[in-house]
Structure 1
Amino acid sequence: MRVGASGNAAGGAPTLAPTPPPHHLQTSERVPAPTAIAAGGDSPRWPSSPLEGQLGAVGVAVPVLVFRPVSSVVVVSPELVVFVVVVVKALPSIPLSLSELTSLPPSPPLPLPELHPALGNISDDCICFCQWWFCFNCLNQCTENDDDNDEDDDDGRGVNAESCAHSDEVDRVCKVIDELFALDRNMEAVLDECGVQLSHDLVMDVLQRFKHARKPAFRFFCWAGGRPGFAHDSRTYNSMMHILGKTRQFETMVAMLEEMGEKGLLTMETFSIAIKSFAASKERKKAVGVFDLMKKYKFRVDADAINFLLDSLGRAKLGKEAQAVFEKLKGRFTHDLQTYTVLLNGWCRVKNLLEAGRVWNEMIDKGFKPDVVAHNIMLEGLLRCKKKSDAIKLFEILKAKGPYPNVRSYTIMIQDFCKQKMMRDAEEYFDEMIDRGCQPDAALYTCLITGFGRQRRMDLISDLLKTMKERGCPPDGMTYNALIKVMTSQHMPDDAMRIYKMMIQSSIMPTLHTYNMIMKSYFVTKNYEMGHAIWDEMHHMGCCPDDNSYTLFIGGLIRQGRSGEACRYIEEMIANGMKAPQLDYNKFAADFSKAGNPGILEELAKKLKIAGKFEVSNVIDSWAEMMRKSAKRREPTYSGGWFT
């Protein structure tokens, strides 16, 4: 893999026009597909019946690519597909030396925010990984101007909006909520006395800090709405709607939507949040019912709104339900290419290629020409169904007939090769893409980094990071998380922390997933002090823990034998509106047996019962009972001088 190459190879194809963004970033405006060369310029057609599939060469797995001209049917057999084989030079198996990796002059480091004291003890020099040396000087240089690529859900602020609220004021308000809500004291009275200068940006920032803790978020929202001189706007309402939808508080969410309607604050984003929330919870009828609310408040139900509903259902793996909604509503709006594309995506997500092929054929019959986005969805569908050979055939036809594969198309193929540990094939596709003038993005590099990480090829990962800098494609948040996952999967949390510090230094804010990976790795390696430090760091950086964060942290406390603290955090978790943690009984049973303290769950259950948390106490008591029964089955019985 020529990770250092740039531009086209000598004699290669001319540079292509800029490729469209990935499907999840595209707008409703479609990219026109170039005219196909063969079969009268028609798009490939997927067989909708066994008879149609038998028109082609024998032995080809369905779906068979069939091109339909105006007056005849031409079947493209595998023999007619030209496969482009790119011969690449074998990769060196010897790792680069430390001096070679550090040959680039280091750039002036950015000021690091104040970290937890325990985190500052980790050296920044290099990472030793199974006798491979991986220096992060090159990584530090290529990420100075990188934008944050947060993996968390949108908070309703908008893609490019920035907050004008003072961070110290936000921290002060959040500290009051944290300390007083958990103690069940009069949080609102203390906030009144604090003299908080409310603004819409401040409310948005506070809600973002508590986006996984609906109860304190809702209490603060109600307090702010009742303050003299302040009134919520559409942004703050939508932010609270988002929190309620994510935590499935649908009655409160709908009541808030109607309150917004009475105040004239409804926007299309409000209805989008409601549709997406219902769809994510598999509530198809309620998602469709949002259209009735749109009509009630004089909002137009057009093709974009229906397409958004169908797409939300499809992304929630409700392809069948999305199709049923389409059949019910298809007479009320004008279908477009995006309509069929989202239906195709819904069926591919549930691995139903037969229905996906039917939608594909209907799309062509209606006069729509599938673009590169539709082809990418079909590629993903074939790979989900383990039909790699068919995906390769479709990819080769795209190169020969068009629309030409974009960076997303190559990423789909390379990601699958990396998952199957077929790195040689991934390298060939990467080099071919470079030769054809299609420039890789951070997502594609992240796939390769993950693949090489599974093989412990840290020398190649270092080369990729240098290449990203040379090509003007700096690592983003997902790239850093992929590097952290490489380390935590090998139980090397200290090395993951070095990457975390580089991430902070590069002005990229870590996500909740970042902290959860590192915290879990420390607890697995029984470094409880550092696990606690990560928990504190997460709060210090203003990242709200979710159910998984609490479960990891509480599990670490129980393994450490600190049942009293575990009880307190379980109470805090429930007070924030989360469910009792779903702990892994088998892992804990083994740990308790080794520690010689099998009664720790009983102690925790008693503490919860005293605290009045009867529901959680009963759950934990049932786990303790399972442990007692399991231990009793393992104990030998003594009868008549013999063990039986």
Structure 2
Amino acid sequence: MPLRIKSQHAISNLSPPSQIPRFPITRRGRGGGVQNLWLRGASLPLSRFPLAPPHRHFLRSLFQAPPLLPPPFSLSPPLQTFLLHLTTRSNKDSSFDLGSQPDKAEVEKLCKVINESVFSDRDMDLLLTECAIGPTQSLVVSVIDRFHNAHKPAYRFFRWAGSVPGFAHGPVTYNKILEVLGRNRQFEIMVNLLEEMGILQMLSMESFKIAIHSFAFSSQIKRCLWVFQLMKRFGFDTGLEAFNCLLDMLAKEKLGKEAQKLFDKMSGQYTPDIRTYTALLAGWCKVKNLVEACRVWNEIVDRGLKPDIAAYNIMLEGLLYGQKRSEAVKLFDLMKAKGPIPNAQTYTIIIHAFCKGRKMDLALSVFEEMRVAGCDPSVAIYTCLLTGFGNAGRMDCVISLLSQMEESGPAPDLHTYNAVIKLLTSHDMPEEANWVYKSMVQRGFEPSINTYNTIMKSLFSRHHEMGCRMWEEMSKKGVSPNANSYTVFIAGHIQHGRAREAERYILEMVNKDMKAPLIDYNKFVADFCRVGEPNKLEELAQKMRSNGKFESADWLSRRAGKVRVRPGPNHTIP
């Protein structure tokens, strides 16, 4: 549906040459000047192409504000193909029968016992056994889901369930706890668990996908390679598709240099295809290294391979993020004139760049051009426009466009609602953010942990009780608080002078193996000084030591040495 906002700009077409473009590799010379280094071929610098006036200075103010949304990188062909391979290979593994849905009352009871064991001297295993609830596959998955941000209780529950007579973990429960360990960067435990899964024949392609993603996200390159070798050891396919997937995951985590090293090391074992080079291209573009990105692009051309639309889109986005704006425009116009024809992802990249630079008239111009070209704008593009209007301070357009989407389509998705809620809270509009949250829930969307954290922080800025209600609602929905949730919640208590409650949740947070929160400890100590307890931080540190949390205790002790607050008149802390 056309937007009810008009634009005054349009993008004109150029008439570039018909061959696949080549890119100069630009480096700075010894005297500070810029040198264009060319690979083989008779390419001309893109800067020699004429540039239409509307584009001469476009995107000049790009990249001044941090993006609200992640860059619109879609799944690249290596990952798309390999995920299809994963699905085919692991259908048998993932179809493991979970049985009927777990009893909600049993899930709640087990979760309550696990939470209470954090502050209890009694053993968690004994408390769980006393519940007299027999674990099932679906029950174990549901309970672990509740603690996906707290690996220690989740892993202890997983081990307890495996020790119950008559129950044995299956591939799904193993993968679930593997995912929790990866999320919390417990890599040593992950490695041991993967070995255990291999011995018990519980490994699946899904297991490898979780492991590679977790290791790549934390730059654990050697462990990524170890997973690759593990696949070989247990008879899984490690052909070119799997290798391309590994490169792609490294690229997605901004590890272009590491992906290139892996490619160079393994080049003798595989014959690279366009998907291999596309993954390398994405890796260098992600880290804004256009010298290497151009080298990879030119190598594609030299090898006689034809870049597909995915490669063009990645290069286009790399040029924009590398602030080669005129070259990006020329590549875009070249695609329109000679192919490959821009697709929805291409337009999304351009619109996202304009929105990021607060060039909303130009963004709307490309939006209209996209519709004329026969590409239906996706929800992601509408979300980009919403974000752009919000960053430009045009909150009336944000509310209007969101209402239009809800009434006429395309229907907002979870990312849309999260983006709007973040915009509203950043503009000090907590009531409106709460209204959008309620609308999202009414439409059947389950808020993410980030949604709760954002709204809770906004509500605490004005109302203590409303912030607490959001915490309670998060708990009722079965969403496990993460470190950021605790930090927001504890800071909210301190902000409203509830230091006693803050103390309780600091201990709860640390006992879940999370680090002590970064909060206003000066105010925290000041509140306790006023009731004659100036050494509260040291007391907290001592409690942590008695529970074996030595790292957090030492950190808090150092923090206590930096806090200097004079005791004021006595009063009671609520």
What's the TM-score once normalised by structure 2's chain length? 0.81
Q: Name the residue aligned to 1:192.
A: 129
**For residues 79 and 601 of structure 1, what CA distance do their matches in structure 2 show?**
70
1:44 match: secondary structure: coil
Aligned partner (choices 335, 346, 350) of residue 413 of structure 1: 350
Deviations 1:266-289 (A, max 9, x none): 112212222222222222122112
Deviation of 1:192 (Å): 2.8
Deviation of 1:580 (Å): 2.2
Q: Name the residue aligned to 1:146.
A: none
> Are 2:420 and 1:487 equivalent residues in the alignment?
no
**For residues 168 and 432 of structure 2, what CA distance do their matches in structure 1 show?**
47
Deviation of 1:331 (Å): 1.2
Aligned partner (choices 252, 263, 274) of residue 200 of structure 2: 263
CA contact (8 A) 1:207 1:217 kept: yes
Deviation of 1:623 (Å): 2.5
> Are 2:319 and 1:382 equivalent residues in the alignment?
yes
**For residues 49 and 260 of structure 2, what CA distance do their matches in structure 1 show?**
35
Aligned partner (choices 209, 229, 239) of residue 166 of structure 2: 229
Q: Name the residue aligned to 2:297.
A: 360
> Are 2:376 and 1:433 equivalent residues in the alignment?
no
Q: Runs of 5+ in structure 1 lacking a partner?
A: 6-35, 52-58, 86-155, 632-644
Aligned partner (choices 488, 493, 496) of residue 560 of structure 1: 496
**For residues 409 and 168 of structure 1, what CA distance do their matches in structure 2 show?**
49
Aligned partner (choices 477, 501, 510) of residue 574 of structure 1: 510
Q: Name the residue aligned to 1:627.
A: 563
Deviates more, 1:371-380 or 1:453-462: 453-462
CA contact (8 A) 2:405 2:412 kept: yes
1:416 match: secondary structure: helix
Deviation of 1:260 (Å): 0.9
Question: Percent identity among equivalent residues?
Answer: 46
Aligned partner (choices 24, 42, 48) of residue 19 of structure 2: 42
Q: 1:270 to 1:180 in 2, by over 3 A?
A: same
**For residues 182 and 43 of structure 1, what CA distance do their matches in structure 2 show?**
65
CA contact (8 A) 1:418 1:426 kept: yes
| Number of residue-to-residue matches in the alignment | 517
**For residues 467 and 366 of structure 1, what CA distance do their matches in structure 2 show?**
49
Q: 1:558 to 1:470 in 2, by over 3 A?
A: closer
Q: Name the residue aligned to 2:541.
A: 608
CA contact (8 A) 1:606 1:617 kept: no
Deviation of 1:73 (Å): 4.5
Q: 1:548 to 1:258 in 2, by over 3 A?
A: same
Equivalence map 1:60-459=2 (5 Å): 73=43, 79-80=49-50, 164-459=101-396
Equivalence map 1:526-605=2 (5 Å): 526-581=462-517, 583-584=518-519, 589=522, 602-605=535-538
Deviates more, 1:460-469 or 1:342-351: 460-469
Q: 1:470 to 1:488 in 2, by over 3 A?
A: closer
Deviations 1:566-591 (A, max 9, x none): 2322222222222222x15xx65489
Q: Runs of 5+ in structure 2 lacking a partner?
A: 6-13, 56-90, 567-574
Deviation of 1:62 (Å): 7.1
Higher relative contact order (CA 8 A, sep 6+): 1
**For residues 158 and 284 of structure 2, what CA distance do their matches in structure 1 show?**
39
Q: Name the residue aligned to 1:9.
A: none
Q: Name the residue aligned to 1:522.
A: 459
Q: 1:62 to 1:593 in 2, by over 3 A?
A: farther
**For residues 262 and 377 of structure 2, what CA distance do their matches in structure 1 show?**
37
**For residues 245 and 603 of structure 1, what CA distance do their matches in structure 2 show?**
35
Deviation of 1:48 (Å): 3.8
Q: 1:307 to 1:84 in 2, by over 3 A?
A: same
Q: 1:180 to 1:610 in 2, by over 3 A?
A: closer
Q: 1:73 to 1:315 in 2, by over 3 A?
A: closer
**For residues 594 and 175 of structure 1, what CA distance do their matches in structure 2 show?**
31
Deviation of 1:472 (Å): 4.2
Deviation of 1:229 (Å): 2.2
Q: Name the residue aligned to 1:95.
A: none
